[in-house]
Structure 1
């Protein structure tokens, strides 16, 4: 099991199984000091997760075609390997968050069943818009017959990289078994999400009075369309209260996307908003239930009374309840109109009205928007410009209809946050709609987001947290999320994802103690920044004080525009001088 290492130096696989992770040491190129490749950062690297137990693929991994499957022929006689058969086939990993300029190293064991062959590793780089920008193939390396050989490869993330995956490809049709795979980053790894969590999750609600989408009924993505809108509005109120009860034990903060009348405690003054428009596009051709709103002003059915007299129409007092519970309140538009059909002037009028009534309840201008009826399709460039100028930095409830695939902007495949093309200030989060019938699909989507280090928005209307069946579905999803995700409101997830990209690590020394400085260059204070250390130290010193850590995980709070010095005492692997030509992975 000898491999050529050449100018890269020595890879010593220390496979020290502490908390299920190993580490490797190498001597770097001449101009750098000794550097260490840290523990695994790849989800399901050991192929152990296979939720459906179908003996096909481990969770999160994909293949080119038939011929790639789980196998019991493992390297150490425990667990499973994956076999690859076919020259036009491959095994591809889950996606991992990438940091431009970071160096990533993969090593695994490979064995051929019948004839000697070769395999290679390919790194696949993806940018913040979700575009697959480049594939970086590494040289083929030999795989002997009935003998496990070590395969390794290294690549540096390009300056545009936001994510990457690796794939493994054979040089012939021979069956090759892959096992004992480790993917690490050289030095200290900055995790994409805080508090040691693999992925991020938001709970959010479309939160509407009767004056929202209820009276303006449209038979698009609304299973209750055509129902009694006043009863639905009362369920909206009740569901918001029930959601708070579900969230209280875990201190969960959700995002409530509110319409304009949610902020009113009545309208006895007969205030008008947005010029009280009619909309020619609100017709049966566009799936409205009637053409009523072509003739009737949009807010013309306002009862012009108090919240006490008409609690279906005004939710102003409930806003204070959400604020006391420290919930996040964002925009579902003032009018609950369809983004597909309105223009920039409509958007400007809507934002002005929403900001006005929100300020009356001490709610800040919105930075996040949930499109009514998932109506982001066919938005004009000028309309997107208005969103950005009005301070919107994240959107959800974007187009999901299969018939509008050309307009999809959210990643609902791997649940990465996406930048909107030509408007990089706007992040798009993939959402999933939770009902009792969709619960299992939502849990599977959450699992996908977790495997790919993604961010997912689990949502419903507040009226859909009222029945026993609905509450049970929400409780199950909340329990699953609390185990595996960093849970935060949508804007905070987006803000953290952008700010943590401005956190950097500079290694100051690796002898006698490993010392580095971690710097937050962003304008945002970051709590729970998670660092994966390159080895298990005996002690960790931060700014001269001994701090707690968990094996190779260190969690730090970083004030805005600040830095902290970290020293790892003890536990560091010793440097090994590489031989002239080759090195062996210890058996």
Structure 2
């Protein structure tokens, strides 16, 4: 009897243990699904993390910044944790710092930074350890450094490498992150093996694993555009015959199309209204043929002629065969049929600085009407004539948004108080007054400036940004320009996703809206990713927290040998991914 009782008791105990085990497993799963802290961090997300690239040979690695770039307080050296593995950075001065390139982040996600450091004072009486802090700089979508998290102070031993680490969670509003390294004394420190990673799955900003996005775009005008209405400011051909310039505009567009077709590249042609016409023998009147009294020498026009003459009064009222300088309708059709992107340079080629909301409404209506006649969709991107975004009112910006404009380029660059674009890290920035509109930084292509242009592309690459390289199509007829554009295409193809401006902005916007939910980390890593927007994402690049041996995407299982996964994610679609650890 006692033996039987003991057996029953043992069975009860075993049953209780099994029930508890099952309950604990269920609780663990529920905790993971409810958003308990993740443990697995992915690979390094920072470009040029080994300090190897210094394109301009100024001693500061590309993408990195420092408090005193012209002083000796920052130096790049080959003294590293693993000899022959690249470079380290020497930092000296209590008020000095070294700051990393930017990475894209998401609110609520955690980010881990680690590096190796040692103190290296060479003076016999100053051979001592010191301390260092790591600062997490959280930037919002406009690039404002709105929050700084400081790590605990950590000891840096003398002549002995030590790990310096910190983890922080991205606060609300965070869109980007960079890390700065701060010595707490004047002792010289050496840093190496810098690493910044996301805990969990990191979504790449650009498709197919590319480090940055790049647009090639052109201001493309007939004689009725900015040629006959030429303004002396920022116009290298202002004194040239407008008819000759228009002829070069046509020729240059054909040359660029031929280059892009050879290279498999699509550009954006910012087009004025008369480009869509095949003629105007009927004497159509556009925008009530306004007279702009602001077009004066005081506002940098060469003469006061247009102050008292209707803007379209020079129209010869013929057709493309008789006056091909005035009407580009057949060429626009050819560009569009070849897959090139056609966007707005305004219908009238007026100055945004001086017009009001009603002028913008009339301009959009006219542009849409003539574009529709060529079966070209309404514009979603605008290039300001003469970079004339300064002085735009809230009402005028709202007219742009109401008419479907979602990106702008050629914004004011010469007056810092009016600047909208990020020409340092080349991040896309929302318009301060209206977040529906994104500002992309543009750089003007001139052959003597090729090394500087390459350096600016490198800055965009280092920070995961987007850059718009542009010229007037008339300028591309020269051999020097052709060689420069060919060189830029080859440079861009190495690290950049090349696409029209509207596609770059749409991709960026949709990636920011993606949602990732981790279902479990063990025994398999399971997550879901959802695209809630209207844009299909091709080549979406995910950096995984491990290098799995097998991956299952949407029920299809396959062998895998990388920590980067690329997939297509259609609009309004969710896909589940399962990773089996190696």
The question of a shared fold, defined as TM-score above 0.5 by the shorter chain, is answered with yes
Change (3 A) 1:513 1:326: same
Q: Write the mapping of 1:263-302 to structure 2, written as runs, cut at 5 A.
A: 263-302=276-315
* CA–CA separation in structure 2 for the residues paired with 1:124 and 1:230: 53
Change (3 A) 1:157 1:314: same
Superposition deviation, residue 271 in structure 1:
0.3
Q: Which residue of 1 aligns with 2:428?
A: 417
Select 1:362's aligned residue among 345, 364, 375.
375
Given that 2:222 and 2:246 are in contact with CA atoms closer than 8 Å, whether structure 1 keeps it comes out as yes
Q: Which residue of 1 aligns with 2:74?
A: 68
Residue 105 (1) aligns with residue 116 (2): no
* CA–CA separation in structure 1 for the residues paired with 2:115 and 2:44: 12
TM-score computed with the length of structure 2 as normaliser: 0.91
**Tell me, which stretches of 5 or more residues in structure 2 are unaligned?**
1-31, 121-126
Select 2:528's aligned residue among 509, 517, 521.
517
Q: Which residue of 1 aligns with 2:405?
A: 392
Q: Which residue of 1 aligns with 2:160?
A: 147
* CA–CA separation in structure 2 for the residues paired with 1:305 and 1:547: 64
Deviations 1:508-549 (A, max 9, x none): 222222121111122221111110011111121111213576
Aligned residues between the structures: 540
* CA–CA separation in structure 1 for the residues paired with 2:342 and 2:148: 41
Question: What is the aligned-residue RMSD (CA, Å)?
Answer: 1.4
Q: Write the mapping of 1:270-349 to structure 2, written as runs, cut at 5 A.
A: 270-349=283-362
Superposition deviation, residue 382 in structure 1:
1.2
SS in 1 for 2:36: coil
SS in 2 for 1:501: helix
Q: Which residue of 2 aligns with 1:133?
A: 146
Superposition deviation, residue 485 in structure 1:
0.3
Given that 1:549 and 1:555 are in contact with CA atoms closer than 8 Å, whether structure 2 keeps it comes out as no
SS in 2 for 1:458: strand
SS in 2 for 1:69: strand
Q: Which residue of 2 aligns with 1:82?
A: 89
Given that 1:33 and 1:510 are in contact with CA atoms closer than 8 Å, whether structure 2 keeps it comes out as no
Residue 94 (1) aligns with residue 101 (2): yes
**Tell me, which stretches of 5 or more residues in structure 1 are unaligned?**
1-27, 572-587
SS in 1 for 2:447: coil
Residue 193 (1) aligns with residue 206 (2): yes
Given that 1:226 and 1:289 are in contact with CA atoms closer than 8 Å, whether structure 2 keeps it comes out as no
Change (3 A) 1:130 1:203: same
Change (3 A) 1:554 1:408: same
* CA–CA separation in structure 2 for the residues paired with 1:357 and 1:379: 25
Select 1:178's aligned residue among 187, 191, 203.
191
Superposition deviation, residue 34 in structure 1:
5.7
* CA–CA separation in structure 1 for the residues paired with 2:329 and 2:349: 17
Deviations 1:217-270 (A, max 9, x none): 111111000201111101111111111111113321111100000000000000
Q: Which residue of 1 aligns with 2:477?
A: 466
Change (3 A) 1:34 1:493: closer
SS in 1 for 2:208: coil
* CA–CA separation in structure 2 for the residues paired with 1:301 and 1:550: 65
Deviations 1:353-399 (A, max 9, x none): 00110100011111100000000001111111111111111000000
Superposition deviation, residue 63 in structure 1:
1.0
Given that 1:125 and 1:133 are in contact with CA atoms closer than 8 Å, whether structure 2 keeps it comes out as yes
Residue 488 (1) aligns with residue 499 (2): yes
SS in 1 for 2:89: strand
